[in-house]
Every structure is written in structure tokens, then in C-alpha cells.
Amino acid sequence: MESLWPRIEPLLARVTKPARYVGGELGARCPDHHPDRVAWLLVYPDTYEIGLPNQGLQILYEILNERPDAFAERSYAPWVDMEAAMRQAGVPLFSLENFAPAGEFDVMAFNLSAELVYTNVLNLIDLAGVPVHAAERAADDPLVVVGGHGAFNPEPLADVIDAAVLGDGEEVVGEITETVAAWRRGEVTVPGADPRSRETVLRALAMVPGVYVPWCYEAEYAAGPPLPGAGAGVARLVGTRPRFPETPERVEKRTIADLGAWPYPKEQLVPLIEVVHDRLNVEVFRGCTRGCRFCQAGMVTRPVRERPAAQVRTMVAAGLARTGYDEVALTSLSTADYSGIEETVTGVMDDPACGRVSVSLPSLRVDAFTVGTAAQIQRARRTGLTFAPEGGTWRMRQVINKLITEADLYAAVEAAFSQGWRKVKLYFLTGLPTETDEDTLGIVTLAAKCVEIGRRYHSAPTVTASVGGFVPKPHTPFQWFGQNTVEELTRKVNLLRDASRGIRGLTLRWHDPRASAAEGLVSRGDRRIGAVIERVWRAGGTFQEWSECFDLDRWLAALEAEGLSLDDTVHRHRTEDEALPWDHLSAGLHRDFLYQDWRDALAEVGLEDCRWTPCYDCGACTGYGVEHVVASAVPPAGGSQGTGQDLASGGAVPVRFLEVRGAAPAGAGTGR
């Protein structure tokens, strides 16, 4: 592959943050290209500052570069000034290691971290000089593969991507490599296809467990019911069926059973400029069984698999010594739930090999955060603390199964302030199923009480309450819920603004409701939304996750041009028997489990963490033969451990099965 560096270097003086494009970080590899090795380009469809810390990309980068039959390089989305300069100079998307043209790699693999990066995916494929539509690519064009949580519904990108990987990627990237290498050698055959054709490799990849190839499936539509106020209905998806006998009817996600067998990244990349999460990151466990009904990550990553505590300490000590960082984040979906978290933090901070290190615990679970934990993590330097009550009232938290009480929250906040913290962040959602104005205003009530607690210990404590508009996600119990409109979310934000005025020490922040609408469109979209995404991109809509670039009008115009609407695609409640675009893709969860959990949500019934209770038969363990891997048979110390007020008092929470077939669920509207 040729190096584009002589053509890239003259552009750098004309753009902001040129260090984004030069590579050479500590930990970066500079692999030798060889025709017998499969060449991967791992692409994060956002800027260098956002993409470099991504652990998923770094893990696959190391695993592929350790293989004798593959190598991997990286690329990130160039900012608008650099893209303009590249297009003007005829410079295609390039890798940061060898400055090789993206179009000359065998595989371009994208991490789908969020819905609004999808227009960037199209833009980067085009910038690479590769046809945007998969059907137009030749045999020597790169295979476009996606992974990450967005890959659990890749249907909006079905016409663009060649394959999507569901679940953990550590093992499957090797199997994809072997399939591509065998195809290039002419050793792969499928009925009725030329062994050297693109059809052959696509059909072969579709037989790799965990790999979904949209071209091997056909989506069927039929006329839908008339819409209110409209003369005709919008077509409804009937189902998605395989085109070939060898293609599985349902694609199952990949799950690695032993996280300890994959101690990656061993050599975390150290950036050249300031990036988000600029610290050493060590994953302590994967998966979550708290059962928050809004949380796609918690649902699709089950079961829980913990990394051995000794390995955590080893990875921290080695990482600090190599990178020079003095802060480490122990990452997971709910780090305070890690078995023996206090002992692990103590072990890290007392280890002479770690030196004077600050430990941060992202994704802190309120009811698992204790004074002891607070005391340990503040010994070196107090890092930020963010708690996520999510709902403003106990009723709302029962609906979403975030079973933490007000007492849990106040105890955690008091533990933080008593140990010297002066700033605490709280994260909430609004627009949740059955939410009332009382539930919404409960956000301010909780946050104001936390300020009062802080004043017991400090003269000027600060509490920041961040509020996001709820977006229903696939493979969750709320996948049937009709999302709040922009107008309704805006009204709720205004309620909170009015209620928080004059409360000294309380800062309110909120996510743009217009962006939530676009996220909802892509999140649960079917293949028809692909044309909408393409129209937005062709109208200049890149970096839609950045507020200065986002424009909802582009999305509305694209929807109208395709004969679609937000009311039908975003705001409408789904029914139990309706075909969903991702029904042929499995996150390991039984559909009837999710639907029962949806009914339980409407009945305000909570479920405890299944690590410490009898199995609920969600499918994640029984369907994959992978049990929870935890270091302790008892819950972490501290808090109510998800028992909630009614359950803790011994009173049974009544189960009210609400009929939702064929109609909007009772109480699931935007207000009551």
C-alpha cells in the first residue's frame, strides 16, 4: 500500500488540531503489509478525541495485530475542515499508522457507538472512495463491517454495510479473518456462485456465528392500517427472511465466557492531544443484570462476567508504569457492583507498583456506593462522582426497574460529601413510560435535597442534574413504547427549569429534545430509514451528534421525501404481535421475557438483580451455556441491593397484567 503522507502533510497547517491526523501514539503499532495477511482498518466514526479512548476498538486492534494472518490500523472521522481539505486535494480517508488509503484494506470495521454517527459512516465510506451502497461494490472493494451496541439493529444501514457483528468481538474477528483469507485463496464455495465473487464471501460470512449479512436476508412489507387523519396507512414490516438455505433464520450474538482469558488492552494507546476519558481504563466486568428496562447495554451484554481481582491489579500496575498516567478508571456498566470493589480499590492504591494513583469508578450504582468506597477512592485525588437515579420518584423507578430508594441516593451523596467531595452529578431521564408531571418535578426535589445534604459539610456544594430525553432501544422491555414528542420533552424540560430557579448550588442541564427525536428514528428504524439517513448525509448532515452540526429540519425533510413521518416511526406504540426490524437478530433474550417485563413496567412491578435471586429465564445464560462469573456468592455490601421500598418491607408488589395487544398500552402516553 502506498503512503499518503506526502499529500497529507501539506494539509495540516490549514486545519485545527493537526495532531488528530499524524498517529505515532505510545502503544500504536506500525504493521508491515503483506498480501497473505488480512488487512483491517478499524474506524471510529467520530473525531479522534472521542474515538481514541474507545476500549472496544483498542481491544480488537491488539488482538488482530497479534495474529499471524492479519494486521490492523486505525482511522477516525476527520473534522469538517480537514475533510474539506482532503476532498479538495483528492486525498482519501487514510490510516494513522502507515497513512495507507482506506480503500485498499480488506475490511473497514466501524464501531456503532450511537445512532447519530450513522451519517458519518456513509461519509467515511465515500471519503475512502468506496461505493456507499453495498450492492455496487466489486470483489476488490473492502468489506464494510459494523459492531457495537448499534449493530443489534443494523437495519437502517442494511443497504450500506456488508456485515454486522452481534456481541463480543474478541473471538469472531479471528473467524472473519480466516473466512476472508480462505475466500481470497479461492477455498470457499457456496452453491451457484463464483468462488472469487463477492457473493461467495458474503454467504460464507453469514454462516459465521454472530455475523449478520443483510444482503442474505429479505425484508417483507405489507399495507398497514390507516393513520389518524390520513386516508391511507403506512406499510408495515411483516418479517425478515433468509434468502439462502444455508443462512440461519436467526443470528445469535457472540459471548465470551471468560473475561480473564482476554486481558486487553495490554498496551493502551496514549493520545497526542487531550481526549475524553484521558486516563488508564481497565474493564473489571462485562454485562449487567440489574435489569433497568430502559438500558440496552445492560440487556444485550448479559450475563455478568467479572475479571479476576488479581488480574485487575496486574493490568492497572502494568498500565500505569507504561503510560505514565496517574489516574485509572475501573470500567463496567455498574462498577460499584464488582464483587469486593472496596478490596480491589484498596489493593490498587496500596500497591507500590501503582504509585500514587487516583481511582475513578464510572457508572456508580447509588445503592452499592458506601462510605468505605468513598474513603478509598478519595485517598489520592478526588475524581468526579456521577450517580444515576434516572427517575424522579419511587413510582417512576419501579416502572423502569431502577430500584433505588431516596434513602439510597441520599446515603450515597452523604458518603461523598462527608469524604470531601464538593461536586456531585446526577443523571436522570424524562419522557419515560407512564411518566407524569409529578414524576418529572421529582427530579428537582431529589437534586435540591442533595444540595441540602452537601451544605452539612461544605459552604458551597454543587449538584448538577443532567436530564436526557428517553429514547426506546431494541432488545429492551421498552422497545414497544411510543417515544415522547419534541414538544412534550421540551415542555418537561421547561417544567424543570422553572422549578429549579432560585435553588442555590443546583445546576440543571438537558439534552436537546430535537436530537432525541432523530436518535429515536434511527434506533428502532427498519431498512426504509436507510434512505432517510442517506438524504441527511447528502444534504450535509455529518457530525449530527455535535450540537453545532445537528439540524432536525434535515431529518424531517428526508422523512417527508421518503413518505414517512416521526409520528409513525418514533411516537407510535408498538403492539405485541407486530414484527420488529430486529426480530431475526438475537441479543440472547427471549421475546416473551421482554414483553412480560414491559407489562410489569406498566404495573409498576420491580425485579431484583438475578445474580442474587432465582433465574428469571431471560435466556442470556440458559441459551448460551454461560453462567454469571462473579467472585462472590453474596451481593456487594451497602445499600438495599435493589430490593426497593415495597420489597424491603416484606410487602408483595401486586402484579397487574395490563392488556396491550392491538392498542397503545394503558398509561403509556406522554402525560397523565
The string of pLDDT tens digits covering residues 70-108 is 999 999 999 999 999 999 999 999 999 999 999 999 999
Round to whole Å and give the CA distance between 65 and 666. Answer: 53
Q: Specify whether 465 is located in the same domain as 606.
A: yes
- Cis, bond preceding 303 (omega within 30 deg of 0): yes
Per-residue pLDDT reduced to its tens digit, 378-403: 665 556 688 999 999 999 999 999 99
| 536 falls within a domain | no
**Between residues 64 and 628, the one the model is more confident about:** 64
Q: Specify whether 306 is located in the same domain as 438.
A: yes
Per-residue pLDDT reduced to its tens digit, 14-35: 999 999 999 999 999 999 999 9
Per-residue pLDDT reduced to its tens digit, 308-355: 999 999 999 999 999 999 999 999 998 888 888 888 888 888 888 887
**157 contacts 536 by C-beta, under 8 angstroms:** no
Round to whole Å and give the CA distance between 264 and 252. Answer: 24
Q: 559: closest CA among 520, 603, 592, 594?
A: 520
User: Any idea what DSSP says for residue 568?
Assistant: I
Beta bridge partners of 125: none
Across the chain, which distance is largest between two alpha carbons, in Å? 77
- Asked whether the predicted pLDDT for residue 672 surpasses 70, the reply is no
| 496 falls within a domain | yes
Q: Specify whether 237 is located in the same domain as 321.
A: no
| 154 falls within a domain | yes
Round to whole Å and give the CA distance between 469 and 481. Answer: 14
Round to whole Å and give the CA distance between 142 and 313. Answer: 40
Q: Specify whether 412 is located in the same domain as 503.
A: yes
Q: 624: which 3 cell numbers?
A: 448460551
Q: What is the CATH number of the domain that holds 82?
A: 3.40.50.2300
Q: Specify whether 33 is located in the same domain as 123.
A: yes
Q: Specify whether 180 is located in the same domain as 310.
A: no
| 270 falls within a domain | no
Round to whole Å and give the CA distance between 375 and 258. Answer: 31
Instruction: Give Cα 505 distance to the centre of its chain.
Output: 31
Classify burial at 24, counting beta carbons within 10 Å of its beta carbon; exposed 0-12, middle 13-18, buried 19 or more.
exposed
Classify burial at 142, counting beta carbons within 10 Å of its beta carbon; exposed 0-12, middle 13-18, buried 19 or more.
buried
Q: 550: closest CA among 596, 517, 588?
A: 517
- Asked whether the predicted pLDDT for residue 266 surpasses 70, the reply is yes
| 10 falls within a domain | yes
| 260 falls within a domain | no
Per-residue pLDDT reduced to its tens digit, 411-467: 999 988 998 889 999 999 999 999 999 999 999 999 999 999 999 999 999 999 999
Per-residue pLDDT reduced to its tens digit, 529-553: 999 999 999 999 999 999 999 999 9
Q: Letter for the amino acid at 38?
A: V
pLDDT at 117 (0 to 100): 97
pLDDT at 632 (0 to 100): 53
Q: Specify whether 229 is located in the same domain as 347.
A: no
Beta bridge partners of 462: 423
The residue range of the domain holding 444 is: 279-528+564-648
Q: Structurally, how many domains does the chain consist of?
A: 2
Question: Whole-model pTM?
Answer: 0.92
Q: Specify whether 487 is located in the same domain as 384.
A: yes
Q: Specify whether 291 is located in the same domain as 233.
A: no
| 47 falls within a domain | yes
Q: What is the CATH number of the domain that holds 310?
A: 3.80.30.20
Q: 572: which 3 cell numbers?
A: 407510535
Task: Tell me which of 216, 243, 270 is where a domain ends.
Answer: 243
Q: Specify whether 217 is located in the same domain as 288.
A: no
Round to whole Å and give the CA distance between 301 and 573. Answer: 25
**658 contacts 603 by C-beta, under 8 angstroms:** yes
Residue range 205-221: average pLDDT? 98
Q: 45: closest CA among 135, 108, 101, 91?
A: 108
Q: 30: closest CA among 97, 99, 94, 107?
A: 97
Q: Specify whether 230 is located in the same domain as 146.
A: yes
Round to whole Å and give the CA distance between 311 and 374. Answer: 23
**307 contacts 284 by C-beta, under 8 angstroms:** yes
**155 contacts 219 by C-beta, under 8 angstroms:** yes
Q: 246: which 3 cell numbers?
A: 444455508
The rounded radius of gyration (Å) of the Cα atoms in the chain is 25
Q: Specify whether 315 is located in the same domain as 442.
A: yes
| 544 falls within a domain | no
Distance set, CA 273 to CA 25, 320, 500 (Å): 10, 18, 37
